[in-house]
Amino acid sequence: MTFPSTTVQMKKRIVALILAISVLGSSVIIGRLFQLQVVQAEDLQKRAARQQMRVTSLSAQRGTIYDRNGEILAMSGTVWTVYLSPVDIDSEEERQLIAKGLSEILDVSEEFVLEKSQRNTYYEIIKKKIERPLADEVTKFVTENNITCVGLEEDYKRYYPYGTLASTVLGFTGSENQGAYGLEAYYDSALSGTNGQIVSAKNAWGTDMPFKYEKMYEAQNGNDLVLTIDINIQRFVDKHLEQAVIEHEVQNKACAVVMDVKTGEILAMSTKPDFDPNSPNTIYDKNVQAQLDAITDEDARQEALLEAQYAQWRNKAISDPYEPGSVFKIITASAVLEEKIVGLNNSFTCTGSYESGGVIYHCWKLAGHGTQNFAQTLQNSCNPAFISYGQALGKEKFREYFNAFGLTQTTGVDLPGEASSIYHSDEDFGITELSSSSFGQTFKVTALQLITAVSAAVNGGQLMQPYVVKQIVDEDKNVVSETTPVVKRQVISNETSATMGALCESVVSDGSGRKAQLPGFRIGGKTGTSEKLGANDSEWKILSFVGFAPADDPQIAILVMLDEPKLNDPYGSTIAAPIVKNMLADILPYLGFEAELDVDEDTSVETPYLTDVMLEEAQAQLIDAGLKARIVGEGDSVLKQVPQAGYEIPYGGTVILYTDETELAENVPVPNVLGKTGKQANAAILNAGLNIKIEGDFPDNVQTQVVSQSPLPDEKVQPGTVVTVTVHQVGDTSANESP
């Protein structure tokens, strides 16, 4: 029998089989391990990290925006995000309690919280950017109910302390603190900083492990911006521009730019109507909101709302090119004087029209200006004269200067949304286009391009680079970068520029810019009125005025532009010039310029009749009279004035202009100044909102004492009333006197 040998043979086969299976199994295991540990290692590590680590974001604080004086224009304040960890909810009872409590505190629905609480996650946002009072309520709620699955994370929210002030320049931020418009968008990378993280390890049960397994990556706060904008100049500009928009029913907004002509720094830039960046989606223009409310179809209304929001965020001074009209004559005049094609003694006879290339161009004065010298053609803003200057200059030279003054390119200002000019191509620039371009029509430039060009014409001939941000500094106030004035090119000579300053001063003193005259100051400027086709093919106008001061050594320039004022026969000379005048009346004394007036301190002035006069015009009349205005109310015309018309008050006194019946101020008591010095009486009466008239016969440089006053002490009078005090000499100026 062969059984034994067979058994041995079978054993050998079994052993071989086992070895084969072992080798094969080991190979499979080794192959799988290779697959997991080498081929799929990186992917598996990422998946494990996601399952084992919890990442909490730490928001970086966005940088602050300051004006040139250190006033805060935009800042970030602490807010909180309320979050929920659904997997840590202990019971259904706790789930219902959380839904009810958070819905009541945070004004969200219970269903919303319940839906979030059903998810198998560790982090669900319930509400973002809540203020401290609500955060305190949430903290109290979770503490009192011993809830551990609801938490608060610090975040930041953008605040704009001055509301609408310079809103189209500043812009605003989006829901995630990212820059959305204006400087906030342009300098977003500098302002935003870098968010940090807290990375926490979790165990197999999904709960956080001890702090030794936690890693924190600190947030890097954003840098701050220091602007060239001056908050006080911006206030002056905003105030007068807003008044003008209301008074003149401007249909397509207005804008203004104030520039330091020597450096290119923008001191103020305004568009009206504008918006409040604290609530950028809210329509600020009441007329636009009324139009939206009248739309009944919801889809159409939402579309119109979106368009209205984009429109109110738009910075008109840099984004909307327009035909500049006669303000551009400064550029044409500069070019022909620089090329010595026309001299100051040259004359031109205006008959009221001018034929060129088969087209008849009319002067605004249909009867013509007659024979004028060069200065008078600018003073009179004579279109035919400037057509002749443009043709004498020629197409090539005209285009050369148009480009040299920076009008074929964007200025490169550090703001988003700057538009390019719209100008004739070389092929399409014929005699007709040259004629119309020479007096500022048939092409478009932005307000910023134009004021930059005009500044070059009067600052010594240098085209400057305009800018808004002066410095970028870190949170420790170290300067990261600084902008310094940049001269792009010398456009005209210093001599030609000085001549242009004098010529523009004559426009204000003797020409179409008379309404920009400011007593005691030398003002230069130029009016502009351009035509365009508006709605229903009716004719609309754009009114503008550029002014600069002091005319003999210009420091600042202001350009105001009103797009489609709803007036009969409006002109830049009658409407825009007084607005610039009123702005300069506020700005120049603020900048330290003193009026040069030959006026006796005892001079009395008769108050003009201002009732029913539009507010901007009323202020201009008071400036001409040597008086100041204090406005009470939100109206656009004067309902009442104190003192009344024809009343004599001291030169430099204040007239109260009431523009709203609801704002008529209550009477104020007259302070008791009997026995006080003249200086003390003056301070007390002016501080009470009253005017003072001092009577008495005494020499200069002596100390005086009030012996009588009218009205009597404590008598109730209207603000602005003149209090007459009689003083007598009591000593000389060596005596001590406290104000």
Range in 158-162, 334-338, 372-376, 657-661 the model is least confident about: 657-661
pLDDT recorded at residue 45: 56
Of 434 and 690, the one with more pLDDT: 434
Residue 362 CA to residue 368 CA, distance in Å, equals 9
Q: Which residues contact 725 (CB under 8 A, 6 or more apart)?
A: 673, 678, 681, 685, 692, 693, 694, 695, 706, 708, 709
The C-alpha angle 504, 509, 511, rounded to 5 degrees, equals 75
pTM > 0.75: yes
Yes or no: say if 691 and 722 are a contact pair by the CB < 8 Å rule.
yes
Residues 239 and 590: their CA atoms lie apart, in Å, by: 15
Helices (H) and strands (E) in the chain, counts: 22, 33
Q: Which CATH superfamily is domain 55-227 in?
A: Penicillin-binding protein 2a (Domain 2) (3.90.1310.10)
Contacts of 693 (CB under 8 A, 6+ apart): 604, 648, 649, 650, 722, 723, 724, 725
The CATH number corresponding to 666-739 among 3.60.20.10, 1.20.120.1200, 3.40.50.2300, 3.30.10.20 equals 3.30.10.20
Query: Which residues fall within 8 angstroms of residue 636, CB to CB, at 6 or more apart?
Result: 243, 246, 247, 614, 615, 659
Mean pLDDT check: name the lowest of 176-180, 375-379, 678-682.
678-682
Does residue 389 have a pLDDT over 80? yes
- Average pLDDT for 384-409: 95
Asked if the model's pLDDT at residue 179 lies above 60, the reply is yes
DSSP per-residue string spanning 322-336: B--GGGGHHHHHHHH
| Banded model confidence at residue 41, pLDDT cuts 50, 70, 90 | low
Residue 60: what residue type?
Answer: A
Sign of the CA dihedral 36, 42, 47, 50?
positive
Split at pLDDT 50, 70, 90, the class of 462 is very high
Whether residue 643 has a cis bond before it, omega within 30° of 0: yes
Report yes or no: 580 and 547 within 8 Å, Cβ to Cβ: yes
Read off the pLDDT of residues 42-53 as tens digits, 9 standing for 90 and up: 665 555 545 445
Which residue from 97, 100, 121 is spatially nearest to 110, judged by alpha carbons? 100
The candidate with the shortest Cα–Cα distance to 631, out of 670, 607, 664, 606, is: 664
Provide the pLDDT for residue 46.
55
**CA dist., res. 85 & res. 99, Å (int):** 13
Top-level CATH class of 599-665? Answer: alpha beta
Q: How confident is the model at residue 598 (pLDDT cuts 50, 70, 90)?
A: low
Record: fold of 325-590: Beta-lactamase (3.40.710)
Q: Is the dihedral of CA 436, 269, 533, 530 positive or negative?
A: negative
β-pair partners for 548:
524, 557
DSSP assignment of 35-76 equals IIIIISHHHHHHHHHHHHEEEEEEPPPPPPEE-TTS-EEEEE
pLDDT at 157: 85
By residue count, the chain amounts to 739
Q: Say whether pLDDT at 35 is over 50.
A: yes
Q: Rounded CA gap, 38 and 25, in Å?
A: 19
In the chain, what percentage of residues exceed pLDDT 70?
87
Cis peptide before 711 (omega within 30 of 0): yes
pLDDT of residue 145: 86
pLDDT at 167 over 90: yes
Q: What are phi and psi of 567, to 5 degrees?
A: -135, 160
pLDDT, greater one: 201 or 93: 93
What mean pLDDT value characterizes the chain? 85
Per-residue model confidence as pLDDT tens digits over 196-214: 665 655 544 444 544 444 5
Question: What pairing do the DSSP bridges indicate for beta strands 65-66 and 224-227?
Answer: parallel
Whole-angstrom CA distances from 349 to 228, 335, 367 are: 46, 21, 12
As given in the structure block, the two tokens for residue 583 are 């702005």
List residues with catalytic annotation.
326
DSSP E strand boundaries for 493-650? 524-533, 539-549, 556-563, 604-606, 628-632, 640-642, 648-650
pLDDT value, residue 601: 57
DSSP state of 575: I
Give the C-alpha separation, 663 to 719, whole Å: 12
